[in-house]
Amino acid sequence: MNARNLVGSSFLSSAIAIVAAKIPDAPVNLANNEAVTTAYWIGLTWSAGTYNGGSPVLDYQLSYAEASSSVFTIYASGIITTSTTVTSLIPGVTYLFKVISRNVVGYSDFSSSISVLAAQISDPPTSLANVESITSASQIGLTWLAPAFQGGSLVIDYRLLSDNASGSTYTILAEGLTSLSYTATSLI
């Protein structure tokens, strides 16, 4: 740019570079990657927003909070893919997550947040034992202990399987058991 008067034109001013762009749309489809999630880490995936603002998305920033507090903290910036794994979590805690994208103009709005329980399948029950005072020719009394590690989520119930000592095909003998004992009746 320069100025002009009756005498002539001035020298050029300093130049500036402007990108014809705006901030990108917020990422969408933020979801728990159940194939990755355990009681200690949570896998997440998302998709880029519909419009990148006229400039390619450079990276993403993920924030998280414990659901009980809703105070978000940045977990990671500079994520260049549309997935990540959040580590060092506390089993049994529900976490909230949200993500933003960044292009040369700046950061987008936040995605919708999701909540994910840091949990996995529990360990099996332990100390399965015959209760001799109950067991007879037509019934079997059983007791067991809850799993040492419940996977970050309390055990809801138990399912008892039987295989008639063949070791090859198990059938469900009882399910929905909420106590740590059971008496199987009407046995042959």
Closest to 39 measured CA to CA, from 155, 119, 154: 119
Counted domains in the chain: 2
In a domain, 20, yes or no: no
Percent of the chain with pLDDT over 90: 74
How far apart are the C-alpha atoms of 94 and 72, rounded to whole Å?
A: 13
In a domain, 148, yes or no: yes
Residues 112 and 143 in one domain: no
Amino acid at 76: A
In a domain, 17, yes or no: no
How would you classify the pairing of strands 59-66 and 94-102?
antiparallel
In a domain, 150, yes or no: yes
Structure tokens, 121: 């399948």
Residues 141 and 109 in one domain: no
How far apart are the C-alpha atoms of 124 and 170, rounded to whole Å?
A: 16
In a domain, 1, yes or no: no
Give 85-104 pLDDT, tens digit per residue: 999 999 999 999 999 999 99
Give 173-187 pLDDT, tens digit per residue: 899 999 999 998 877
Percent of the chain with pLDDT over 70: 97
What DSSP character marks residue 186?
S
Give 22-78 pLDDT, tens digit per residue: 999 999 999 999 999 999 999 999 999 999 999 999 999 999 999 999 799 999 999
Residues 96 and 48 in one domain: yes
pTM for this model (two decimals): 0.74
Residues 92 and 164 in one domain: no
Q: Return the H-helix or E-strand segment holding 82.
A: none
Domain boundary, last residue among 117, 152, 170: 117
Residues 132 and 98 in one domain: no
Is the model's pLDDT at 149 over the cut of 70?
Answer: yes
